[in-house]
Amino acid sequence: MSQVTEQEIHTVLEQDFPDSKIIVKDPMGDGYSFQIYVKSDQFKDLIRVKQHQLVMKSLKPLLAERLHAVSLKTEI
């Protein structure tokens, strides 16, 4: 399994969440486990679980093949 970069994840999320604040960190430096923060107006009127589901849907292709673990925080 090849490593994923912070920039690659950021680019994927920017496609589905344009004009949003997105921060991606690889705290272990291993290319497999990431901390992700997304602040988006798209989350308005959504409970946290639904917000996370939207983000995870965007990451699904990466999660299926190359991304191992994600710590996710969302905000409106």
Per-residue pLDDT tens digits for 34-75:
999 999 999 999 999 999 999 999 999 998 888 889 999 999
Q: What is the CATH number of the domain that holds 14?
A: 3.30.300.90
What residues make up the domain containing 20? 6-75
Token pair belonging to 67: 């991304």
Number of domains the chain is built from: 1
Q: Can you list the alpha helix ranges (DSSP code H) found in 1-76?
A: 6-16, 48-65
Residue 1 lies in a domain: no
**Whole-model pTM?**
0.94
pLDDT per position as a tens digit, 4-43:
999 999 999 999 999 999 999 999 999 989 999 999 999 9
1 has a pLDDT exceeding 70: no
Residue 45 lies in a domain: yes
Query: Which of 4, 6, 65 minimizes the C-alpha distance to 35?
Result: 6
Token pair belonging to 5: 């970069």
